[in-house]
Chains A and B, each alone.
Chain A
Amino acid sequence: MEISRRKFLKSISAASGASLVSKSQFAHGAERFTGWPERFGILTDITRCVGCRSCEAACNEINKLPAPKIPFEDQSVFEKIRRTDAQIYTVVNRYPNPKPGGPAVYVKKQCMHCDEPACASACLVKAFKKTQEGPVIYNKDVCIGCRYCMTACPFYVPAYEYDEPFKPEVKKCTMCFERISKDGIPACVEACPMEAMTFGKRSDLIRVARKRVIEQPDIYIDHIYGEHEIGGTSWLYISGVPFEKIGFRMDLGTTPYAELTKGFLGAVPLVLILWPAFLIGVYMFTRRRQEMVETEAENFEIEEDQQ
Chain B
Amino acid sequence: MIRKTVVSIIVALLVCLLITSSSDGKKETPSSENVPGTCILGSLTKIYEPVIFSHSLHSLVTEDCATCHHHSEAGQTPSCKECHSELKDAYHSLCIGCHKEREMGPMGCTTCHVKKTTNEPPIKMKSKNEPETCTLRRLEKIYDPVIFSHEKHTNFADNCATCHHHSPIGQTPACGECHGAPFDPKNLSMPGLKGAYHLQCMGCHQETGSGQLGCTDCHAKKLSQKTAKEEK
- Tell whether A and B belong to one assembly: yes
Q: Which residue of B lies closest to A204 (CB)?
A: B188
CB contacts (< 8 Å) of B148 on chain A: these are none
B194 touches A195 (CB 8 A): yes
Q: Does A253 contact B (CB under 8 A)?
A: no
Q: Does A247 contact B (CB under 8 A)?
A: no
Name A208's contact: one of B188, B192, B198 (CB within 8 Å): B188
Name B189's contact: one of A50, A103, A199, A208 (CB within 8 Å): A208
A195 touches B182 (CB 8 A): yes
Q: Does B195 contact A (CB under 8 A)?
A: yes
Contact count A vs B, C-beta below 8 Å: 39
Number of interface residues of B (CB under 8 A): 16
Interface string of B167-211 (1 = CB under 8 A from A): 000000000000000110100110110111011001000100000
Interface centre among B182, B192, B206 (most CB of A within 10 A): B182
Q: Which residue of A lies closest to B206 (CB)?
A: A103
Q: Does A83 contact B (CB under 8 A)?
A: no
B195 touches A193 (CB 8 A): yes
CB contacts (< 8 Å) of B14 on chain A: these are none
CB contacts (< 8 Å) of A185 on chain B: these are 183
Q: Does B215 contact A (CB under 8 A)?
A: yes
Within the assembled complex, what's the spacing in Å between the Cα atoms of A210 and B177?
A: 27
B192 touches A195 (CB 8 A): yes
Q: Does A198 contact B (CB under 8 A)?
A: yes
Interface residues of A in 157-204 (CB under 8 A from B): 185, 189, 192-195, 198-201, 204
Q: Which residue of A lies closest to B192 (CB)?
A: A195
Q: A193-B194, A204-B188, A208-B188 are in contact. Are A198 and B202 (CB under 8 A)?
A: no
CB contacts (< 8 Å) of A200 on chain B: these are 183, 185, 188
Q: Which residue of A lies closest to B199 (CB)?
A: A194
Q: Does A211 contact B (CB under 8 A)?
A: yes
Q: A195-B182, A200-B183 are in contact. Are A205 and B202 (CB under 8 A)?
A: no
Q: Which residue of B lies closest to A195 (CB)?
A: B195
How far in angstroms is the closest Cβ of chain A from B213?
A: 8
B188 touches A48 (CB 8 A): no
Q: Does A284 contact B (CB under 8 A)?
A: no
Name B188's contact: one of A50, A52, A198 (CB within 8 Å): A198
Interface centre among A194, A195, A200, A204 (most CB of B within 10 A): A195
Within the assembled complex, what's the spacing in Å between the Cα atoms of A110 and B115?
A: 55
Q: A204-B188, A205-B188, A208-B188 are in contact. Are A199 and B202 (CB under 8 A)?
A: no
Interface residues of B in 80-94 (CB under 8 A from A): none
Q: A103-B206, A200-B185 are in contact. Are A195 and B199 (CB under 8 A)?
A: yes
Within the assembled complex, what's the spacing in Å between the Cα atoms of A185 and B198?
A: 19
Interface string of B81-114 (1 = CB under 8 A from A): 0000000000000000000000000000000000
- Contact sample, A vs B, 26 pairs, CB 8 Å cutoff: A48-B199, A50-B202, A50-B213, A52-B215, A103-B206, A189-B183, A192-B195, A193-B194, A193-B195, A193-B198, A193-B215, A194-B195, A194-B198, A194-B199, A194-B202, A195-B182, A195-B191, A195-B192, A195-B196, A195-B199, A198-B182, A200-B183, A200-B188, A204-B185, A208-B188, A211-B189
